[in-house]
Chains A and B, each alone.
Chain A
């Protein structure tokens, strides 16, 4: 059965079964992934998969069900389960199915050129990267992993109110972890690059960057624990921002899960901080012209020069506060219920490069990586204490890598302590971005 046909049939049957309104969300994905080990293909993976969910209003409540088995029998499975789930809810969700925005941005998140790159070409690239890394320096002993992933996907949302939206996206990601050894000292360095422009991937450049990321960690020294000014490199800052995203959700604030409750219009960060929700940023691979409810997405400031402009809303949280949705309903897959999340949220850039910034630092620590964020950060209290990789900076220069360390602080405080943002904006594959930040100080514990 064709998918559009299935969608129509399902919507019709849902209405017949007593749903007042209903929506069908469909997703299809294709991917290719290849890992290289010592010049040989170590793993090779292809996939074509997808699924579909039904979300519908039954007796005033919103029921959900999904399936990956798309056939005639699934229709009753979806309808029966969505009904049972609706009946279980304690009160109506406060929302209905959306009938559409007046205008949607025409957004290109799919490259035909990338779709036409053949598998042998991709394998040749990743093999060449592995070889170039291995021969880059004798201290490189092995690669923990060296892979390439190419993905493409299509999402569509159709509902009983006549809304029908479709979007395609694709991209390619290179991911490498290099293991280096000097005497007894063993270090790793990981590297990731993502793009929609295959031709921009240069094996020499990638190999150099990946190798240097690991090699630079050799020669570690211990320094006294204490409070230090922190230069947080773009990737580490983006990872920290991504971890604390839940504090910007209006739903979390309404439920006493965010300390930003009641703070709209007030200063919550230093003047240097502007935080943007930017669904159409050209350097990010995620982003979409419609959100999980079908509302048109928009670029907007969440924080402007330190002032909290808005929290992120979907239609339910907006209705509770009597405001407009910000188009941040989040439905990461057909397997999920609706929540709230930003699109390509990033901190706005400043003027200087990292090198220019370093020159002006008399003593501090440059943080190049964070690990353990999923467990060492409390998104409700804002406290974090996580493992960090980085360098001791002295008199404007990198002095040495620092032995295993942790940095600890509170995210709400950190936002107030940002003293500068650089111009080097970097996006993680999941769409969170930041330039390098200068932070007044954090507690650092060194092994």
Chain B
């Protein structure tokens, strides 16, 4: 993308004031976004994102600058201006750059840029048809198609020089059902680190059908009661609860500065023995997967909690310095506009031994959260909140009627202690995670689990 000699000059210029590490991140990304609504392909935009981020460390201080002026003068100017933030004198020199070749874990069969728009639109139309035909009460269907090809080059003063191409494809289906003065929605958004083959192999009947089914089901849902109940959270996207409730608290961004309840607790029991929690960026072609992270480190399987014992954290280069340890291949950024930091990839609770049927049958009264919506956590306190997209009341071991407006609140570290069943049906769901270094594709996953008590906020009262 840019001549190696220019990269070397920029890395050297960045060290001219006493910095001890410099890095360049070059991104050239092609994006296609298509939207279908009211049975029509309504909007379609294509684009190219292109820019460069330069990062300098001086001890624990981090300097970042980004630009899309990629002339040699422009880059040198940016590097020197950033270096001015460090008030040392120095003649730091970089190690000779060594191009690193690796076998990509995630194979891409059909690059989206080579696929005609009409084929993409055809997938969208099929999803629209399936959702509309599900029930006459489906009034509106919105289908969004997204693909991107992100070409990156990372080089740093330690001699690293590595390139990769990442491809993401996602289809987001939202159905709106209406009856009388009621409008309810259902959503499903499958995605993968894969090319157009992902779209062609997608089980549209399932995904579009589910979006429609949720919307129609919610039309007749009762208001959710509020109070403290056992909560059964189904597999796949249900994993979002532990993504928020403990995943963010295990990121070095929070841990390194002691702003997490999990800081300094490796080796301690933080969860019941049935809980094993893993972040794995190597799962083939999963939405949150990567070959290398945004500092050029290979991704890996990081076991965070094993049989209830805290084993480790997700760590990036800068926080590794603060924590006096090594990076775990977990540094990510949305684009060249963000300085990278420790983030999750595909995070999940490992399967246990209970069957979903047994978990429900053994619950006297509680809430069954079939599909979770999004949530949020305050990493300092661990307090979280979640929306439940589709919920039911469980009574005498049976799933009864649907309820709506359920919100779960609690404290991550405490909720983790209250997991009392882990199912055997592990599955992963795609989501977007927003934090310091931008919005990123992540998978959340789990088998069905049960928490003995969560505070449920609803509209019905106790």
Residues of chain A at the chain B interface (Cβ within 8 Å): 37, 40-51, 53, 63-70, 74, 77, 81-82, 84-91, 93, 142, 144, 177, 179, 186-188, 225-227, 255-257, 259, 335-337, 371-372, 374-376, 378, 380-381, 383, 385-387, 404-409, 443, 445, 447
Asked whether, in the complex, the Cβ of B68 is within 8 Å of the Cβ of A375, the reply is no
Q: CA–CA, A66 to B48, complex, Å?
A: 6
Asked whether, in the complex, the Cβ of B461 is within 8 Å of the Cβ of A225, the reply is yes
Min CB gap B381→A, angstroms: 5
Residue numbers in B under 8 Å from A387 (CB-CB) = 376, 383, 385, 407, 409, 457
Q: CA–CA, A443 to B259, complex, Å?
A: 32
Residue numbers in A under 8 Å from B45 (CB-CB) = 64-66, 85, 335-337
Asked whether, in the complex, the Cβ of A84 is within 8 Å of the Cβ of B117, the reply is yes
Asked whether, in the complex, the Cβ of B47 is within 8 Å of the Cβ of A65, the reply is yes
Residue numbers in B under 8 Å from A85 (CB-CB) = 44-46, 117
Min CB gap B53→A, angstroms: 9
DSSP majority for the A interface? strand
Closest 5 CB pairs of A and B: A406-B457, A375-B374, A387-B385, A445-B457, A445-B226
Q: CA–CA, A96 to B41, complex, Å?
A: 18
Asked whether, in the complex, the Cβ of B455 is within 8 Å of the Cβ of A404, the reply is yes
The stretch that binds A, out of B3-11, B55-63, B96-104, B325-333, is B55-63
Q: CA–CA, A48 to B73, complex, Å?
A: 14
Does B181 lie at the interface of the complex (its beta carbon under 8 Å from any beta carbon of A)? yes
Q: How many residues of B contact A (CB 8 A)?
A: 82
Asked whether, in the complex, the Cβ of A405 is within 8 Å of the Cβ of B381, the reply is no
Residue numbers in A under 8 Å from B337 (CB-CB) = 47, 49
Does B367 lie at the interface of the complex (its beta carbon under 8 Å from any beta carbon of A)? no
Q: CA–CA, A383 to B64, complex, Å?
A: 41
Residue numbers in A under 8 Å from B455 (CB-CB) = 404, 406, 445, 447
Contact of B461 among A87, A227, A406 (CB under 8 A): A227
Asked whether, in the complex, the Cβ of B407 is within 8 Å of the Cβ of A386, the reply is yes
Q: CA–CA, A378 to B214, complex, Å?
A: 14
Q: CA–CA, A18 to B37, complex, Å?
A: 27
Asked whether, in the complex, the Cβ of A188 is within 8 Å of the Cβ of B63, the reply is no
Most buried by B among A68, A256, A409, A447: A68
Does B111 lie at the interface of the complex (its beta carbon under 8 Å from any beta carbon of A)? no
Asked whether, in the complex, the Cβ of B63 is within 8 Å of the Cβ of A44, the reply is yes
Residue numbers in A under 8 Å from B226 (CB-CB) = 225, 406, 408, 443, 445
Asked whether, in the complex, the Cβ of A46 is within 8 Å of the Cβ of B65, the reply is yes
Residue numbers in B under 8 Å from A70 (CB-CB) = 68
Closest B residue to A187 by CB, please name it. B381
Asked whether, in the complex, the Cβ of B374 is within 8 Å of the Cβ of A374, the reply is yes
Closest B residue to A409 by CB, please name it. B459
Residue numbers in A under 8 Å from B456 (CB-CB) = 445
Residue numbers in A under 8 Å from B380 (CB-CB) = 144, 177, 179, 186, 188
Contact of A385 among B41, B62, B67, B387 (CB under 8 A): B387
Min CB gap A266→B, angstroms: 14
Q: CA–CA, A77 to B386, complex, Å?
A: 42
Does B345 lie at the interface of the complex (its beta carbon under 8 Å from any beta carbon of A)? no
Most buried by B among A43, A51, A91, A335: A43
Residue numbers in A under 8 Å from B31 (CB-CB) = 335
Asked whether, in the complex, the Cβ of A49 is within 8 Å of the Cβ of B68, the reply is yes
Q: CA–CA, A81 to B461, complex, Å?
A: 54
Q: CA–CA, A416 to B105, complex, Å?
A: 56
Q: CA–CA, A365 to B117, complex, Å?
A: 53
Q: CA–CA, A74 to B30, complex, Å?
A: 13
Does B66 lie at the interface of the complex (its beta carbon under 8 Å from any beta carbon of A)? yes
Q: CA–CA, A144 to B377, complex, Å?
A: 13
Closest A residue to B116 by CB, please name it. A84
Asked whether, in the complex, the Cβ of A84 is within 8 Å of the Cβ of B46, the reply is yes
Asked whether, in the complex, the Cβ of B62 is within 8 Å of the Cβ of A44, the reply is yes
Residue numbers in A under 8 Å from B95 (CB-CB) = none
Closest B residue to A41 by CB, please name it. B61
Question: Known contacts A44-B62, A45-B64, A387-B407; can you find 13 more A-B pairs with CB under 8 A?
Answer: A47-B337, A51-B47, A64-B44, A68-B51, A69-B48, A90-B39, A142-B258, A226-B462, A256-B140, A335-B49, A372-B374, A375-B387, A443-B457
Asked whether, in the complex, the Cβ of B65 is within 8 Å of the Cβ of A42, the reply is no
Residue numbers in A under 8 Å from B67 (CB-CB) = 47-49
Pairs across A and B, CB under 8 Å, 8 listed = A42-B62, A45-B66, A188-B380, A376-B373, A380-B185, A408-B407, A443-B460, A447-B410
Does B183 lie at the interface of the complex (its beta carbon under 8 Å from any beta carbon of A)? yes
Does B184 lie at the interface of the complex (its beta carbon under 8 Å from any beta carbon of A)? yes
Asked whether, in the complex, the Cβ of B66 is within 8 Å of the Cβ of A49, the reply is yes
Q: CA–CA, A129 to B46, complex, Å?
A: 44
Q: CA–CA, A85 to B34, complex, Å?
A: 9
Min CB gap A324→B, angstroms: 23
Contact of A90 among B40, B257, B383 (CB under 8 A): B40
Asked whether, in the complex, the Cβ of A447 is within 8 Å of the Cβ of B409, the reply is yes
Q: CA–CA, A93 to B41, complex, Å?
A: 10
Asked whether, in the complex, the Cβ of A89 is within 8 Å of the Cβ of B41, the reply is yes
Does B405 lie at the interface of the complex (its beta carbon under 8 Å from any beta carbon of A)? yes
Min CB gap A234→B, angstroms: 21
